[in-house]
Amino acid sequence: MWSLIRFEALRFLRHPRAWLIMVLFVVGNSLPLHFSDRLEIGFVWFAVLLHALAGFVGAMMVAQARTPGGGTDVAYLLSRTGTRSRVLASRWAWFVIVAAALTAAQAVAFGARGKLSPHSRAAVRWESLPAIEAATGTPAETEPGDLGLYQLAQKKGRSTEFLRAHVELPGAAGTILALMFLALVIGFALQAAQGPATDWDWSRMRSPVFHATWVPLAAGILVLLPRTGAAAKERVFLAAHFHLGAVVLAAVGVIALYGWLGLRQWRTADL
């Protein structure tokens, strides 16, 4: 199995376009999260969606690699090394390693800015404070400057929509990293679910699995649309943060579902 994983690593590194795109997607869309010393919750969903796309696009570009004679790497692997299940398992293992490495790099960047500290602060909407206080059981400590601005806006009857409170949200960085990691793996899973055939063929449009692979990405884009509202996005993040176990379980369910669809595709596909 290690040799197969090593093969996956070699083929991945031999395709700089694929991993450069992944790194650009992952780092580029996470930059807003890294800029400030505080976690900007408003950018989280954008980063998470782009992580899923990074996994999907990166895996797709590597999967399209062909041998000089026109065969695919998968055809070579299968003719040499064993069963389709093993080839798919090694690919999955490599996906998880890549996702872990990219997430670890993000964690290092977060750590360098002090965001992994239990006392690190996150920027949230003032309307979210009651929910945070209810979940943590302690009063949220806001910064005096933030509070002053908020009170001034209220006093003058101005909108507070764009004002943020910087409060301690222990483990928020961990939640963001977990969501990014899961999004990457889901992106990989969606690509793998399309099966080993990489050539475009209109007959693939007839496959329900082909369409099903776009459902999570489409859902992610819907969440990101402006009309979903910043408040709703933040509420979803806070719910995910305070119920991370349930989110992980749901994500594992999605990964398992698409993993199973992928295994079925791989077992029956012609190479």
Partner 1 sequence: MTAITAHALTKRFGGRDVLDRVDLSIAPGSIYGLLGRNGAGKTTLLKLATGLLRPTAGEVRLLGDDPGEGPAAAAHAVGYVAEQGALPGWMTVGQVVRFERSFRRRFDASRVDAHVRRSGLAPGARIQSLSKGQRRRLELELALAADPGVLLLDEPFDGLDPVMRAEAMEEVVALVARADAAVLVSSHVMSDLERLADRIGVLAGGRLAFEADLDDLKESVSLLFGPADASRHPLPAAAEVIASRTGRGGEQIHLVKGLGPDEETALRGQGVQLTRPGLDELGLELLRCLSPEEENS
Q: Which residues bind partner 1 (CB under 8 A)?
A: 3, 6-7, 10-11, 14-15, 65-71, 73, 75-76, 78-86, 267-271
Report in angstroms how near the CB of residue 268 gets to partner 1 at its nearest. 6
Facing residues of 164 across strands? 125
Report in angstroms how near the CB of residue 102 gets to partner 1 at its nearest. 22
Q: Closer to partner 1 at the Cβ: 256 or 269?
A: 269
Q: Closer to partner 1 at the Cβ: 70 or 145?
A: 70
How many residues are recorded in the chain?
271
Report in angstroms how near the CB of residue 60 gets to partner 1 at its nearest. 17
**In 3D, which of 81, 71, 67, 56 has the Cα closest to residue 6?**
81
Instruction: Name the token pair of 131.
Output: 């929910």
Work out the number of other CB atoms within 10 angstroms of the CB of residue 163: 17
For 23-75, give the DSSP string: HHHHHHHHHHHHHSSSEEGGGHHHHHHHHHHHHHHHHHHHHT-B-TTS-BHHH
Report in angstroms how near the CB of residue 266 gets to partner 1 at its nearest. 10
